Amino acid sequence: MCTIYRRDLITFSFRYRSKLTSKRPVMKIGRYPSVSADEAREIAKKMSLGLAKGIEPRLEEDAAIKAQKHIEEQQRLQDATIIKVFLDTVYRPHKERMKRGNEDLERLDRHFKPWYQKRMPELSKADVTRWHHELEKTGLAFLTIKRSYDVLQNMLNIAVEEKFIHENPIKNVRLKRPVAGDDQGIDAIRSRRALTDREIDGLFRGLAIYTQDRKDMRRRSRAKKSNRHLPDWDHLTYVDYVVPAILVIYHAGFRPGDVYGLRWENVNFETQIITKVIEKTAHHSIRPTSFPISEPLLEVLQAWWEQNGRQRTGYVFPSPKTGRRLSASALGRHPWAAVKKFGGLDENLDLYTLRHNFASQLIMSGADLMTVMKLMGHRDIATTIEHYGHLTADHIRNALDALNRPAKAKPPFKY
C-alpha cells in the first residue's frame, strides 16, 4: 500500500505489478478521514490475496464498471420503450417539424393517455380491441377512431426505424368497422352532394349576418371609453378571415388545409391562376397544381388583398394572434356553427360539403370527370369517379330536376 500526501489531503492507494502487462497500476482505496489507515490496510490485504489468486484489481474494477454501464444502458433502453418516454423524447420532436404534426400529437394525448405507461413491445390485439370498443361507446365515428389509431401505428413504426423496438407488436391488427345498420353511410351522403338553392341562399345570408354581427359587436365595444382605441370595422368588407376563407372553399373547392396554407405567392392576379402544392398529396408529389380563379373568387381575393395592404408574400389568411398559419380548427366548430345558425342551415351541415358542392356543380354543368379531377386536386381519376361518377349518370338521365338547377354565380348579399 502507498500513501499520497497533497497539502492537507491524505489518499490511500494500492500499487501492484500486473502479470499481464508488466505495468504497475495504482488502485485508489480512499481518502482520509473517510477511510482510516487500518481500513485501508485491510482493503489492500484483500487486494493482495486476490492478486495471488490471479485476480487483478484493475481488471476486476473495469469489469464491474463495464457491467454497471451495461445494466444502466439496458435500463435506459427499457425505459425508452415506455410510450410516454418515447413520445416525449423522439416522436414529439419528430412530429412538431411537420405542418399537421401537432394535430396528431393532440390525438395521441386525447385518445391514448391511459396507455402512456405501457411499454410498446407489450401492446397486444386485446389492448386495441378494448380501446376501440371503449371509444365507440362514447359515440365517436369509426373514421375518427381510425385516424387516431393510424397515428399510433405511425409512432410504433418510427420506434422500429429508430431501433427502440424490434418490431411493431400490433402491425397486423386492423380495426373492424361496426356492423352496417340503417344509418350506414349517412355522413357520406350528407356531405358528398350539391347544396340546394335554399342552402346556398342560407350560406350567403349566414356569411352576411356573421359580418354584420361582428361589426355591431365592435361598434358597441368602441362606444365604451376604455375601448375607443379599437379599430373601426364599419368600412371593412370582411371583419376577419372567416368569411373570405369559407368563400374560397365554396368558389375554388379547396380543402380547408389548402386554404390555411394558401400564400400570396401562390396567387397571380394577372393570369388569374392559383398555383400551389396540394397538401394532402404532398408526401407523394411536391409538383404544384394550377387552379384558375373564377370571377366571384377573384372579387373575394382582391377585396381581402386590398384590405390587408396588398401584400405580396405570406399567408393569405394568417392567424390574427400569431401571424403564422391558422390552426386546423380555425374554421371549425364556432365560426362555422355561427354562420349556419345565422343562415338557418342544418346544424349537421359539414363545412366539407362546400367542397363537394363545387365538384357536384361542375359535373351538373357538363364538365367532364378529368376536368373535375384536376380542379379538385385529386391524385387520380379513380377518386373522382368513386365519389362523383354517379352524378354524371343522374345528370344524363335528368332523373332529378333539383340536380339540373344551376348554382348561383354570385352571393346575393353585400357584406
**Sequence-ordered alpha helix ranges (H) in 113-261:** 125-137, 142-161, 186-191, 197-222, 242-252, 256-260
Task: Specify the higher pLDDT residue, 386 or 302.
Answer: 302
Note whether 359 and 278 are same-domain residues: yes
Please give the pLDDT value at position 203.
Answer: 96
Question: Predicted confidence band at 301 (pLDDT cuts at 50, 70, 90)?
Answer: very high
Phi, psi dihedral angles at 306 (to 5 degrees) = -60, -45
Question: Predicted confidence band at 271 (pLDDT cuts at 50, 70, 90)?
Answer: very high
Q: What is the pLDDT of residues 173-208, one digit of tens each?
A: 999 887 654 444 444 445 567 888 899 999 999 999
Pick from 172, 156, 152, 174: nearest CA to 164: 156
Q: Of 178, 204, 228, which residue constitutes the final position of a domain?
A: 178
- Residue 185 inside a domain? The answer is no
Cβ proximity of 291 and 252 under 8 Å: yes
- Residue 406: C-alpha distances to residues 356, 395, 398, 410 (Å): 15, 12, 13, 12
- Residue 183 inside a domain? The answer is no
- Tell me what percent of the residues of the chain surpass a pLDDT of 90: 39
Reading phi first (left if > 0) and then psi (alpha if -120 to 50, else beta), residue 238 is in: beta
The domain spanning residue 335 has which CATH number? 1.10.443.10
Please give the pLDDT value at position 48.
Answer: 79
The answer, yes or no, to whether residue 410 has pLDDT greater than 60, is no
Question: Predicted confidence band at 403 (pLDDT cuts at 50, 70, 90)?
Answer: very low
The H or E element that residue 291 is part of is: strand 289-292
Reported pTM: 0.57
Domain range holding 323? 190-404
The domain spanning residue 91 has which CATH number? 1.10.150.130
Note whether 301 and 394 are same-domain residues: yes
Query: Which amino acid would we find at residue 86?
Result: F
- Residue 261: C-alpha distances to residues 170, 324, 343 (Å): 34, 10, 27
- Residue 51 inside a domain? The answer is yes
Average pLDDT of the residues in 65-69: 66
The H or E element that residue 299 is part of is: helix 295-307
Q: Hey, what's the cell of 400?
A: 332529378
SS3 of residue 266 by DSSP: helix
Note whether 333 and 267 are same-domain residues: yes
- Residue 60 inside a domain? The answer is yes
Please state, in angstroms and rounded to a whole number, the distance separating the CA atoms of residues 91 and 144. Answer: 21
**How many CB atoms are located within 10 Å of the residue 255 CB?**
17
Note whether 149 and 248 are same-domain residues: no
Task: Specify the higher pLDDT residue, 359 or 285.
Answer: 359
Q: Hey, what's the cell of 108?
A: 395521441
Please state, in angstroms and rounded to a whole number, the distance separating the CA atoms of residues 297 and 246. Answer: 11
The answer, yes or no, to whether residue 262 has pLDDT greater than 80, is yes
The domain spanning residue 15 has which CATH number? 3.30.160
The answer, yes or no, to whether residue 415 has pLDDT greater than 90, is no
- Residue 413 inside a domain? The answer is no
Q: Is 287 exposed, middle or buried (0-12, 13-18, 19+ CB in 10 A)?
A: exposed
The answer, yes or no, to whether residue 398 has pLDDT greater than 60, is no
Please give the pLDDT value at position 367.
Answer: 80
Note whether 26 and 105 are same-domain residues: no
Q: What is the pLDDT of residues 10-34, one digit of tens each?
A: 888 877 777 666 667 777 777 788 8
Task: Specify the higher pLDDT residue, 50 or 160.
Answer: 160
SS3 of residue 275 by DSSP: strand
- Residue 77 inside a domain? The answer is no
**Sequence-ordered alpha helix ranges (H) in 87-138:** 92-96, 101-111, 125-137
Pick from 249, 286, 358, 300: nearest CA to 99: 286
Note whether 211 and 262 are same-domain residues: yes
SS3 of residue 39 by DSSP: helix
Domains identified in the chain, total number: 3
Cβ proximity of 328 and 336 under 8 Å: no
- Residue 414 inside a domain? The answer is no
Note whether 15 and 103 are same-domain residues: no
Note whether 351 and 392 are same-domain residues: yes
The answer, yes or no, to whether residue 5 has pLDDT greater than 80, is no
Please give the pLDDT value at position 314.
Answer: 94
Q: Of 21, 47, 71, which residue constitutes the final position of a domain?
A: 71
Pick from 46, 49, 2: nearest CA to 28: 2
Average pLDDT of the residues in 272-277: 89
Note whether 200 and 152 are same-domain residues: no
Note whether 283 and 390 are same-domain residues: yes
- Residue 411 inside a domain? The answer is no
Task: Give CA torsion, residues 44, 48, 53, 54, to 10 deg.
Answer: 90
Q: What is the pLDDT of residues 311-350, one digit of tens each?
A: 999 999 999 989 999 888 888 778 999 999 999 999 989 8
Q: What 8-state DSSP symbol labels residue 172?
A: T
Work out the angle between the directed axes of helices 353-364 and 242-252 (0-180°, nearest 10).
30
The answer, yes or no, to whether residue 377 has pLDDT greater than 70, is yes
Question: Predicted confidence band at 7 (pLDDT cuts at 50, 70, 90)?
Answer: low
Please state, in angstroms and rounded to a whole number, the distance separating the CA atoms of residues 51 and 130. Answer: 61
Q: Of 147, 178, 209, which residue constitutes the final position of a domain?
A: 178
Note whether 146 and 215 are same-domain residues: no
Please give the pLDDT value at position 400.
Answer: 44
Q: Which residues contact 42 (CB under 8 A, 6 or more apart)?
A: none
Query: Residue 395: how many CA atoms within 13 Å on its side-chain side?
Result: 19
The answer, yes or no, to whether residue 42 has pLDDT greater than 90, is no
Looking at every residue in the chain, the average pLDDT score rounds to 82
Note whether 233 and 90 are same-domain residues: no
